[in-house]
Structure 1
Amino acid sequence: MPATSQPDRGARRRTTRLLAAAAAIATAGALAAALPSSASADDRSGGDRHGRYQDVQLLSFNDLHGNLEPPAGSSGRVTELRPDGTTATVDAGGVEYLATHLRTARQGEKYSITAAGGDMVGASPLISGLFHDEPTIEALNKLDLDVTSVGNHEFDEGAKELARLQNGGCHPTEGCYTDKRFKGADFPYLAANVIGEKTKKPILDPYWVWKKKDVKVGFIGVTLEATPDIVSAEGVKGLSFEDEVETINKYAKILQRQGVKSIVALIHEGGFPASSSYNYDCDAPGAGDGISGPIVDIAKNVTPQVDALVTGHTHSAYVCTVDDPSGKPRMVTSAASFGRLYTDTTLTYDRWTGDIVRTAVKSANRVVTRDVPKAPDMTALIGKWNTLAAPIGNRAIGHISADIPSTGTESPLGDLISDAQLAHGKALDPQTDLALMNPGGIRAPLTYAARAGEGDGAVTYAEGFTVQPFANTVNLQDFTGAQLIQVLKEQVSGANTASPKILQVSAGLTYTLDLTKSGADRVVADSIRLNGAAIDPAATYRVATNSFLAGGGDGFPTLGQGTNDVVGSDDLTALEQYLTANSSATNPIAPPAADRITVVQ
């Protein structure tokens, strides 16, 4: 048999020492992974040193909706919880200030990503909406946005227009607005769950990977599966919208196979925090369920391979943890809307595993205050587009005697718009009985205080456009009384059971909404009156709505069953005609009393 050599005892001792050292390193690594916040300066780096842990800054926001200028009224304020338990409101928003805040936040951060959760465009004020949101894309390019998911409003003008915003090119019917060709977004729009019915593939990229040196973070972008319920049928024609969780989990596996272990989901769906304060600690002891709504179930079911969820859609502000399917807490954030907040999240990247150390993730919402210098490039951008919009936007269309709010179960502005649509309907057909307006179509209040180029109380076309930017037409349809009662019940049942959508009603229609009850019973059927008379289920009523509701949108399928259709002018024209006919500088219109719906709580 062949001879065998024996290792000397010195060699055995050296091997033993090497094994012991390796075991010690492994043990130290395990402890560091569990407690990265206590890692040494050599292991943990917020700059560009190549230790084991690398802090990556994630700045995020959502639901900008083309608000380049500071939003007016309550749309331009956030509620802040003070240390003594009291609250205060803070003026916030405007891309001139957002740019300054983001650029300041990035200073000293060599690993920084900026992401968004959808609805960057759509339902935009005149300065952006008049130009099909090209100004907002230009502003987002200047903000150095890295990536965003699509939201439902990205489909307001259909998939072809969304593709133009991504890829550039002049508008197909209106051409170029300036002497330069629109170049499109520098950042990718992600639409993982939006499938072309012909191609059977996502209409835009489903995911994107941010890379810097040896650090990689993947992003998956989805919008809410229910987008077809809240966008016009024309806007989603030829598209299908798949389940958010199944889609994210599918692409998380794909990213993992590509070696991308750190993953963030950008989800245009959201929740409702227990407090309206942007800095409420929903994870504090005794806070209970700090957040509710659709995003909770999504967060509980998205694969643990995803390390954080940036959300939107509900225009709420929250920074919460929700347990993933394995029972481990995971960060879920939303930065309200209109550029009033941004979320500052620290993701601790482990170079050894390529993954995010979830126990070390920290996040907070920051206010886009207006006490900082304006970003000059944003001021110039706003000035350029305002100059182009001024001949249209500065025209006075009416006068008001005080602020007309757009919030509440029944809002004064909702009443005013419904009355305007009823008047427009009667001009088309004197037999029109009533008008109904969806609250989501009212995007801002009317404010009394003067803006540039106007006097106190003057309402300009630009302000009206900000309130109603969708260019829906006013449609007339016939419904039976039974159908009308069913429509009112659909406000709080069916698709609207969990999140009621209370229609704004024209003068003469009254009823009681009993919130102590559940489901459709919350609308008290025998309380419904039109001009004091009970609704006759067998009678026919002529109803004015906007074209979105007339198609059954917003979870009102019965409104899609009307007959004897007549299509009028767009809804902003109806509002302009009503304000012009019913107000003047010496006789301004007063805010309606908002007393048509009696609410029992």
Structure 2
Amino acid sequence: MPAITRPHQRRGRRAHRLFASAAALVTAGALAAALPATASAGERHQHTGGHHRSGRFQDVQLLSFNDLHGNLEPPAGSSGRVTELQPDGTTRTVDAGGMEYLATHLRQARQGHRYSITAAAGDMVGASPLISGLFHDEPTIDALNKLDLDVTSVGNHEFDEGAGELARLQNGGCHPTDGCYGDEGFDGADFPYLAANVIDDKTGRPILKPYWVWKKRGVRIGFIGVTLEGTPNIVSADGVKGLTFKDEADTINKYARILQRQGVQSIVALIHEGGYPASSSYNYDCDSPGAGDGISGPIVDIARRISPAVDALVTGHTHQAYVCTIPDPAGRPRLVTSASSFGRLYTDTTLTYDRATGDIVRTAVRSENHAVTRDVPRAADMTELIDEWGALAAPVGNRPIGYISADIGNTGTESPLGDLIADAQLAYGRSLDPDTDLALMNPGGIRAPLTYAAKGAEGDGVVTYAEGFTVQPFSNTVNLQDFTGAQLIQVLKEQVSGSNEAAPRILQPSAGLTWTLDLTRSGADRVVTDSIRLDGRPIDPAATYRVATNSFLAGGGDGFPTLAQGTGELVGTDDLAALEQYLTARSSADAPIAPPAADRVTVVR
């Protein structure tokens, strides 16, 4: 690859921000109610007086986000929008995201705050668009350094290329296969990645730091970082080889005790696991009608088991937006936040630090999600970074690979893009083995929609290699395996049972494969056995079927253990190449591909 002039990298921890302090962010009334009964009148006056430069109480700003996934450029289509709840109860969509705008919003938010921390909850890299993914996400680490990120937990996607590559992103050095992309090398992250619950089987210790303490003028706040315990179920086996992932709450409780023994009483957990709010609006009140009533999912159980010593939880993974309070084991409400994904939102939280106790006055905590709108000036340093890496990626990314007649979306129980990718894998499978019967695609492997509107100079309706890479960035291979009909039925049952029972993962089927998903039933029965058809004929439990999947599914990923039991495996090319071949062979400027109807799965509600 041609050389690129790399942005200057800062080594070591930078000095904390020097912005002048501004007026208090909490009201005197709310704060007075939060103060300990022993606080003197003088202490109360100092705390509510506005600047908090001295005295017992100090407001600390915590800015947070999660699941960036290397989205340096503004994400396209629905991936680049958020839903905002209006005062009259209606909603509107807002274009959001892009590192140039996220940097501006965070820098504006920090103004006036002498005590400000920026933290993240994992998946900063992995499943990234071409501009970052092509270079093993070095551009994203460069951008996060410029963004003044202080600390992040690891997420499952930090393990897409294995623990060795994660260590390189932390510590620097050239890629072991592709080498260096410029004369200056790669210095790694200025911020610590925290991996408290990721244990190296050889040493029995966390692979990276388990916690980190932010310090400024006597204020100390500890951060513990974990990823979801189920990471091995959603990452390729090679990515997590030699690692054990421990329970999230148990791990956080362990290190909270260690921090307390070190005299750190204020603690924030960065957790790459999340929940599902009752509304998709980023400013929805998920404490309605009561604390935590508007949220469900894994984070609820985790939050209820985490020690009361932990003052706030910054979460991620589910790509949802929420600011909730979920009761801790002592029954006290505790803040739990998430800022959607792809840099479309950030969370602004005020933590009130009590210098007398070293702890957070939890009842005074305030928090709100904010959209990263694109109506602010772009950050010049981010524009320069994007332009430099974009120029290096352009010869690869701008190549047309197909044509579409309209947006092809990736949302819904069954999505048009899911069907298109399954059809592409079936066609590729039949090019290897004409007896291939069907293909199945996991929805989590589809990272973005295909949009009709041009992103650059390619023209409307043109699908570029960069857009295809953004859709399927994992470099999985397309694998063929033989299954009995009984095994195939079991695979489809696993969409809604086992580890997928609480949060179903509906596979995207190739043309000819149909079934009914009856949501009025429970467990595996939600997939109606008698409804499963291939080309209109019932699946024969005793027959053998040749099935195409990506290598992640073929290894049993996403909670489909039966897919790891196939026989006669044949490993083909990568899945993006299969999609490219399909689009190139079946579309042209004069005859673009239309979105599939997404009518292969019948849903009963």
Give the letter for the 2:255 counterpart: Y
5 Å-filtered alignment, 1:413-492, equals 413-492=417-496
- 1:170 match: 174
Indicate if the aligned counterparts of 1:36 and 1:53 stay in contact, CA closer than 8 A.
Answer: no
- Alignment partners' CA distance in 2, 1:363 and 1:34: 24
Give the letter for the 1:228 counterpart: P
- Alignment partners' CA distance in 1, 2:473 and 2:542: 36
- Alignment partners' CA distance in 2, 1:299 and 1:288: 10
- Alignment partners' CA distance in 1, 2:423 and 2:182: 38
In structure 2, relative to structure 1, the CA distance for the partners of 1:528 and 1:218 (3 Å cut) is same
3-state SS, counterpart of residue 492 of structure 2: helix
- 2:282 match: 278
- Alignment partners' CA distance in 1, 2:40 and 2:567: 65
Unpaired segments ≥5 residues, structure 2: 1-31
Equivalent pairs, count: 574
3-state SS, counterpart of residue 386 of structure 1: helix
C-alpha distance after superposition, 1:98-127 (max 9, x if no partner): 000000000010000000000000000000
C-alpha displacement of 1:288: 7.4
- Alignment partners' CA distance in 1, 2:479 and 2:186: 34
C-alpha displacement of 1:51: 1.0
- 2:533 match: 529
- Alignment partners' CA distance in 1, 2:132 and 2:517: 37
Q: Which among 277, 280, 301 is matched to residue 305 of structure 2?
A: 301
C-alpha distance after superposition, 1:404-458 (max 9, x if no partner): 0000000000000000000000000000000000000000000000111211100
- Alignment partners' CA distance in 1, 2:40 and 2:531: 61
C-alpha distance after superposition, 1:506-531 (max 9, x if no partner): 00001111011000000000011101
C-alpha displacement of 1:48: 5.8
Q: Calculate the aligned-residue CA RMSD, in Å.
A: 1.6
Q: Which among 69, 72, 79 is matched to residue 73 of structure 2?
A: 69
C-alpha distance after superposition, 1:520-563 (max 9, x if no partner): 00000001110111100000000000000000000000000000
In structure 2, relative to structure 1, the CA distance for the partners of 1:593 and 1:32 (3 Å cut) is closer
In structure 2, relative to structure 1, the CA distance for the partners of 1:364 and 1:288 (3 Å cut) is closer
Indicate if the aligned counterparts of 1:478 and 1:564 stay in contact, CA closer than 8 A.
Answer: yes
Q: Which among 131, 139, 144 is matched to residue 143 of structure 2?
A: 139
- 1:594 match: 598
Instruction: Report the identity percentage.
Output: 80
C-alpha distance after superposition, 1:217-267 (max 9, x if no partner): 000000000000000000000000001011000000000000000000000
C-alpha displacement of 1:488: 0.2
Q: Which among 502, 505, 525 is matched to residue 501 of structure 1?
A: 505
TM normalised by structure 2 equals: 0.93
Give the letter for the 1:599 counterpart: V
Indicate if the aligned counterparts of 1:513 and 1:524 stay in contact, CA closer than 8 A.
Answer: yes
5 Å-filtered alignment, 1:262-411, equals 262-285=266-289, 289-411=293-415
- Alignment partners' CA distance in 1, 2:556 and 2:304: 31
Indicate if the aligned counterparts of 1:341 and 1:368 stay in contact, CA closer than 8 A.
Answer: yes
- Alignment partners' CA distance in 2, 1:421 and 1:299: 40
- Alignment partners' CA distance in 1, 2:567 and 2:503: 28
Indicate if the aligned counterparts of 1:45 and 1:55 stay in contact, CA closer than 8 A.
Answer: no
- Alignment partners' CA distance in 2, 1:178 and 1:275: 46
C-alpha displacement of 1:32: 3.2
- Alignment partners' CA distance in 2, 1:456 and 1:309: 43
Indicate if the aligned counterparts of 2:34 and 2:363 stay in contact, CA closer than 8 A.
Answer: no
C-alpha displacement of 1:37: 13
Indicate if the aligned counterparts of 1:44 and 1:51 stay in contact, CA closer than 8 A.
Answer: no
Give the letter for the 2:415 counterpart: S
Which one has a bigger Cα radius of gyration? 1
C-alpha displacement of 1:34: 5.4
- Alignment partners' CA distance in 2, 1:46 and 1:221: 32
C-alpha displacement of 1:40: 3.7
C-alpha displacement of 1:584: 0.4
Indicate if the aligned counterparts of 2:354 and 2:361 stay in contact, CA closer than 8 A.
Answer: yes
Give the letter for the 1:390 counterpart: A
- 2:229 match: 225
Give the letter for the 1:335 counterpart: A
Indicate if the aligned counterparts of 2:292 and 2:324 stay in contact, CA closer than 8 A.
Answer: no
3-state SS, counterpart of residue 337 of structure 1: coil
Kindly indicate whether residue 551 of structure 2 is the aligned counterpart of residue 551 of structure 1.
Answer: no
Q: Which among 193, 197, 207 is matched to residue 193 of structure 1?
A: 197
Kindly indicate whether residue 259 of structure 2 is the aligned counterpart of residue 255 of structure 1.
Answer: yes
C-alpha displacement of 1:30: 11
